[in-house]
Structure 1
Amino acid sequence: MFAKLREDIHAIIERDPAARNAWEVFTCYPGFHAILMHSWAHACWRAGFKWIGRFIAYVARIITGIEIHPGALIGRRVFIDHGFGVVIGETAVVGDDCTIYQGVTLGGTKLVAGTKRHPTLERGVIVGAGAQVLGAFTVGEFAKVGSNAVVIKPVPAGATAVGNPAHIVRKEEQTRSEKLFSAYGVSPEGDDPLSKALHGLINHVARQDEQIERLAATIKAAGIACPNLIINDKLDSARLNRLVD
């Protein structure tokens, strides 16, 4: 037990630059307290003392603002940063080395008791603040869920899910530090793929406008009459790109 406590404290110090020492983490980090009390609640739940497990989870919620159902499976070195408003459902599984920020919900979308209703986070997953991961699917190893994303489908290993509903941004190989820590699930150069696609379409149309203008000028210079040729207003690509950003 004490070895696990030391491991959890070291993991928090490694991932939170604001954590100055083990005593500060032990006394002042609600995420650490929530994980500790969940281990008690989960032990009672597995031993058949369901009410006691639920009561411990309820007390933990009052103290920390973090609600973890005693039936949820929480791995080693899990870091719930800030944590207020985090909800983790009964059949959720949180793998080793995961990081969860405030306002996250690992929720279910079914009403059938006794079935897998909540998501599984594999090793090293980072879930940004306010994200909602809803359903009985898997978020793969070292994947990231951006802040305020609403994830309702599986996320491949190493990918990033952003938006509402979430869509997938595939990432290149990450260093160990990038895998373990990415503040709020935000990655460098992690632009929204829909935004990139819209920028590409806008720039493509702008280039087509320029080509059409040159063709029209060439035809006119050659003395060829084209009475039905209509030149539309020029696309303001700069303004549209600013709107997409």
Structure 2
Amino acid sequence: MKYTIVLIVFISSLFSCKKDDSDMKILQSKLDSISFQLEELKKESKTQTDSISKDTIQKPIEMKKQIPIQSKEKLQITKKEKPTKLNNPSNDTTYHYFSDGRLSVKIAPRADRQKIWIYLPNGEVIYELENIRLSYSCYNELVFRKNGSVEKVISNLNPGASMYMYSSVIHFDERNEPRYKIDEKTPSTLEEHMNNKSLWDSKNRRWVKQEIVYETITPPSKN
């Protein structure tokens, strides 16, 4: 605003002056006055600018805290995952594996007649069992080694309308090959208790009962 006033005064002075020497002197005097006023205005403007700059520097700048936004991938990682069960639900097929990942045992879904397959490491079925839930029942309990192979199978048979109960324990090697089994009948005689072991015939894949042969020693005859 001050600059505008000074210019107006300067222009007015130009129009009012005359071409003679006296007028030129007056004009020069006015110009000197205007120059002085301009210098004073510049100094005043510079002082105000410096003051504003100092106030701006001294005033602390407030930074807004940024709220960290997690990506979708990070959010998914922090979610609690449900533990995975080793065995499938009763209405699904259950699989057991050797420590190297090969199939060891497959158990069919729960039913009145539930099949169980035991595998060799080469994938061949070596032995079959069956859980039965009818008028009679048969239940097989499998015991595994740490390497995933079957250590033994404990079988219990309830014939239903019978005074006897039957059970057997089948032992396997680390390849799931059957080795021997021991059969029990309750109640049983001494002879049945003594002759209750069978060996596995790997070639023909069947059980061979081991019987104790009692030898009678006949004393020599006297002549």
**TM-score normalized by the length of structure 2:** 0.30
The structure where helix makes up a greater share of residues is: 1
Q: Which has the larger radius of gyration?
A: 2
Higher RCO, 1 or 2 (CA under 8 Å, sep at least 6)?
1
**TM-score normalized by the length of structure 1:** 0.28
